[in-house]
């Protein structure tokens, strides 16, 4: 039977999150549901025990699927997972559960009301360092000025799509972003912006929904470097639009 929900996680060096019981929290939620589901985890070339740990879950639960991939960054991991998804609804989440998977329950009504894309918005940034809150506010202003995106939070990884909508958006992204092996932690600040920009350009119905969020310190986030990269990628999205890359 075709699943109702496909959950996609791009995982890279997740030993710490797995040791904190992230998978147990996710599976506890999913196994409590009456609808069919699949959990697709793309191991993004982890060099710790992540892949071995994930394989143990797939061996005991056939609805957990693990895809091993070279290290190409979170964005490519998500694109790989979406391409393999079979569910009616496709949900992308982060392994650290900073936004718990249970927040999906609040998304269902929006799909019933005709939304094509529903994404989480972290209205309360409590616990996040001041510099990250300032950066987030600054990016809200820039996103509107450069791309006219009217959203408060494009960067939350908790996003859901009707499957055919996800396939269309991500197939467009795949044409623009060729696969490329990378080294070390990779943050793709423009990726989430680009997803919503394409969805809006294709005139899909989009809903921004408040979600619970807990700050999780990450060594992968580098304030100055990522802020500069965010501005560059924002301008790059605009340039791609002007040069008709999204058609």
pLDDT at position 214, please?
86
- Give Cβ neighbours of residue 219 (< 8 Å, ≥ 6 apart): 185
pLDDT at position 179, please?
78
- Give Cβ neighbours of residue 4 (< 8 Å, ≥ 6 apart): 35, 36, 37, 87, 88, 89
- What domains are defined for the chain? 5-242 (3.90.550.10)
Q: Which two tokens mark 216?
A: 């999780």
pLDDT at position 107, please?
99
Contact present, 207 and 167 (Cβ < 8 Å): no
pLDDT of the chain along its 247 residues, tens only? 899 999 999 999 999 999 999 999 999 999 999 999 999 999 999 999 999 999 999 999 999 999 999 999 999 999 999 999 999 999 999 999 999 999 999 999 999 999 999 999 987 666 666 766 777 778 888 899 999 999 999 999 999 999 999 999 999 998 888 777 776 766 677 899 999 999 999 999 999 999 999 876 655 556 677 778 888 999 999 999 999 988 7
- Give Cβ neighbours of residue 10 (< 8 Å, ≥ 6 apart): 42, 44, 74, 75, 76, 77, 78, 80, 81, 92
């Amino acid at each position: 039977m075709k699943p109702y929900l496909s959950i996609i996680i791009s995982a890279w060096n997740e030993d710490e999150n797995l040791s904190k019981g992230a998978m147990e929290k996710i599976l506890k939620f999913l196994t409590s549901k009456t609808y069919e589901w699949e959990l697709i985890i793309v191991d993004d070339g982890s060099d710790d025990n992540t892949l071995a740990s994930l394989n143990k879950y797939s061996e005991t639960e056939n609805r957990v699927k693990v895809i091993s991939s070279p290290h190409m960054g979170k964005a490519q991991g998500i694109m790989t997972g979406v391409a393999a998804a079979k569910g009616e609804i496709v949900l992308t989440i982060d392994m650290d559960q900073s936004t718990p998977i249970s927040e999906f329950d609040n998304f269902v009504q929006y799909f019933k009301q005709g939304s094509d894309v529903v994404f989480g918005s972290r209205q309360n940034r409590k616990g996040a360092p001041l510099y990250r809150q300032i950066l987030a506010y600054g990016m809200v202003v820039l996103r509107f000025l450069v791309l006219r995106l009217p959203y408060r939070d494009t960067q939350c990884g908790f996003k859901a799509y009707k499957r055919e909508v996800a396939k269309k958006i991500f197939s467009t992204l795949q044409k623009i972003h060729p696969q490329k092996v990378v080294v070390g932690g990779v943050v793709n600040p423009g990726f989430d912006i680009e997803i919503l920009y394409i969805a809006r350009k294709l005139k899909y119905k989009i809903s921004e929904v408040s979600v619970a969020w807990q700050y999780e310190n990450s060594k992968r986030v580098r304030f100055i470097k990522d802020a500069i990269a965010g501005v560059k990628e924002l301008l790059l999205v605009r340039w791609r639009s002007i040069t008709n890359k999204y058609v």
